[in-house]
Amino acid sequence: MYFRVLAIMLFGCISAAHARDWTIGVLALRGDAQAQTHWQPLVDNLNQQLPEQHFQLLPLDLHAMKSAVAQNRIDFLLTNPAQYVQIDSHFPLRWLVSLRSSHEPDGTSRNIIGSVILVRADSDIHSPQGLMGKGVGAVSPEAFGGYLLGYKALRDAGLQPEQDFKLHFSGFPVDALIYLLRDRAISAAIVPTCLLEDMQAEGLIHARDFRPLLAKPPTIPCLTSTELYPNWSFAALSHVPDELADNVTRILLSPSDNQPLLWGAPSSTSQVETLLRSVNQHPQQPYFWQQIADWAQQHRLLIAAIALILLLLGANHIWVAFLVRRRSRQLEQLHQQLRAKENALEQAQRLSILGEMASGFAHELNQPLSAIQHYADGCAIRLQREQADHALLPILAQISQQAQRGADTIANLRLWAGKSPAHERATISQPLHELLKHLWQLLGAEQHQPPCQLHTEIDPQIVLHLPPTLPDQVLSNLITNSLQAGARQLWFSAHQQAGWAILTLQDDAGGLTPEQLSQPFAPFRSTKSEGLGLGLVICQRLITSQGGNLTLRNEVAATGNRGLCVTLMLPLTPTKELTFVTDSST
């Protein structure tokens, strides 16, 4: 007995601990008094079935319900599915049951919420387009049946309610819209489906005084201008205990005489969410971009025309840009060709002047050089008669030889300048190793800074038949270029191949740049501060005047350093007549 009393006391303590007041927030669509009257039987039934708990009703409008949920001032709520979706996105709810239709004997219809667009029966407005510029009333921009569904129906009819109408939002209770329309304060009203029938049943209005502007075949005995959506639902907030939520659900799903409302399993919100997205009211929807998408959908023909115009303008711009670019390239090519021709003409003029100067110098210097040679030869003859071993005889012979060398060099200059000799000049044959030794000593290569070492590999059977001093001029110029470039090693080789003598001069001084190699024989281009840029030009023309060829390329020397490799190709058979060959690169 003692334990039984203790258990009863413990159970009572636990029940008292869990007992508390529970507030049910209800959307007061037709005002607080009507909401209190309509839903009070539900509250009484819950209090009777759950005597250890206490339930009370709190009528709210749209904004007040959101605030009450955020502040935890209510524990349950009764509202339409659109507001459930909007609140549930921020504050998790548990949808317990959904209400069935009260306008059918058996209450089998789930979908009962809709909008009807009403005008007065005697109105001259017979289509949605007749509302242009007129006053249209609604409950609130967020009201589901009181605006959003009717808004979508009007928009689907090709109208823009925000722009085409003078919207008037009356707020709760929604009955005020019917009275405003009756009194001609507005031209049309967007009201929830079945409101007109309910107000007539209550003796507040005469339904015959109004007619729907848009009418759809109803599935319930109420006028509607839109499709119908799931009815109101009963939801619990997250802090409500699971046991209490289960008990409330069980009571609502159990028919009784004290419960005139018919409840069923919770309805899906997918249809409602689709509708909210289409009218830019879904809480997870970027409102700005959806507005743009809606505008684009409604003005798709205009957008298509604009897109076509922009496409044509873009294509025209691309075509014009292509023509301008092509013409610019053509003009640039013509400009480069003109500059090349100007440069070629300028060089030709300078070469012509240089040729005339060389011819004049040769003419003027030939006479004194000839006189020097004659005087030296005359003195040598006289001294030889007096004394055959006179000490001045070798000196006079050197003077005569150098005068003849100067005359031959001048003759080569006349040949380079394009002046054919008056008679065929004699050719000389001189061993290459002796010529190189003479030039090496003459140029003082071993005392040059930095010092340079010569390596030779010469075929002793090679015999060159060239005008006097021509090989001296060419080889001395090439050796001087290598020494001035800083060569430390110089390799000279000569061999014959298929009637040609091939002479190769390789240094390790770094070689030429790609730009220099592209036009190596262009005159008046020199990297030396005191150079005229004519050394290689003279060598190349002297070699080509003998039917040979001179080429330049960069190669890696035997020491591993890069250097310039000069190749001379000369015919082994002497030419009967000396000719001047013009190189197109100069």
Using only C-alpha atoms, the chain has a radius of gyration, in whole angstroms, of 57
pLDDT more than 90, % of the chain = 23
Q: Tell me, what DSSP letter sits at residue 384?
A: H
pLDDT of 15 > 80? The answer is no
Q: Is-contact 151 169, C-beta < 8 A?
A: no
Task: State how far the Cα of 213 lies from the Cα of 115, in Å rounded to an integer.
Answer: 11
Measured CA to CA, the distance from residue 177 to residue 185 in angstroms comes to 9
CB 76 within 8 A of CB 235: yes
Q: Considering the chain, what percentage of its residues have pLDDT values greater than 70?
A: 79
Kindly tell me if the per-residue pLDDT of 9 is higher than 50: no
Supply the pTM of this predicted model: 0.47
Specify the higher pLDDT residue, 283 or 54: 54
Note the pLDDT of residue 581.
34
Asked if residue 218 has a cis previous peptide bond (ω within 30° of 0), the answer is: no
- pLDDT one-digit tens code per residue, 304-342: 889 899 999 999 999 999 999 999 999 989 888 888 887
pLDDT, tens digit (0-9, with 9 covering 90-100), for 332-347: 898 888 888 877 777 6
Residue 6: per-residue pLDDT: 43
For residues 197-211, average pLDDT:
92
User: What value, to the nearest 5°, has the Cα angle with vertex 246 and ends 244 and 251?
Assistant: 95
Instruction: Indicate the angle between helix axes 32-49 and 242-253, nearest 10 degrees.
Output: 100
Residues whose CB falls within 8 Å of the CB of residue 488, separated by 6 or more in sequence, listed in order = 450, 451, 452, 453, 508, 559
pLDDT higher than 60, residue 579: no
pLDDT of 359: 63
Q: Which of 269, 295, 297, 296 lies closest to 284 in space, CA to CA?
A: 269
Distance CA 291, CA 140 (A): 19
Q: CB within 8 A of 39, min separation 6: which ones?
A: 24, 26, 57, 78
Residue with tokens 């290569």: 445
Q: Is 448 left (phi over 0), alpha (psi -120 to 50) or beta?
A: beta
Residue among 85, 112, 110, 83 at smallest CA distance from 98: 110
Query: Is the confidence at residue 458, as pLDDT, over 60?
Result: yes
Tens digits of per-residue pLDDT, 396-432? 788 877 777 777 777 666 665 555 554 444 455 567 7
Q: Is 87 left (phi over 0), alpha (psi -120 to 50) or beta?
A: alpha
CA atoms within 13 A of residue 15's CA, in its CB half-sphere:
11
Residue 242: pLDDT band with limits 50, 70, 90 = very high
Quickly state the pLDDT bin for 384 (edges 50, 70, 90).
confident
Contact 568, 550 (CB under 8 A): yes
The two beta strands, 54-60 and 21-27, are parallel
Q: In what order do the strands lie in the sheet with 93-99?
A: 54-60, 21-27, 76-79, 233-237, 93-99, 263-264
Question: DSSP assignment of 210-237, as one string?
Answer: EEESS----SSSS--SS--EE--EEEEE
Task: Please report the pLDDT score of residue 2 as a whole number.
Answer: 40
Of residues 442 and 554, which shows the higher confidence score? 554
153-177 average pLDDT score: 89
Residue 373 burial (CB count, 10 A): 18
Dist CA 245 CA 225 (whole Å): 36
- Residue range 2-9: average pLDDT? 41
Distance between CA atoms of residues 433 and 23, nearest Å: 122
**Per-residue pLDDT reduced to its tens digit, 469-480:** 778 888 888 888
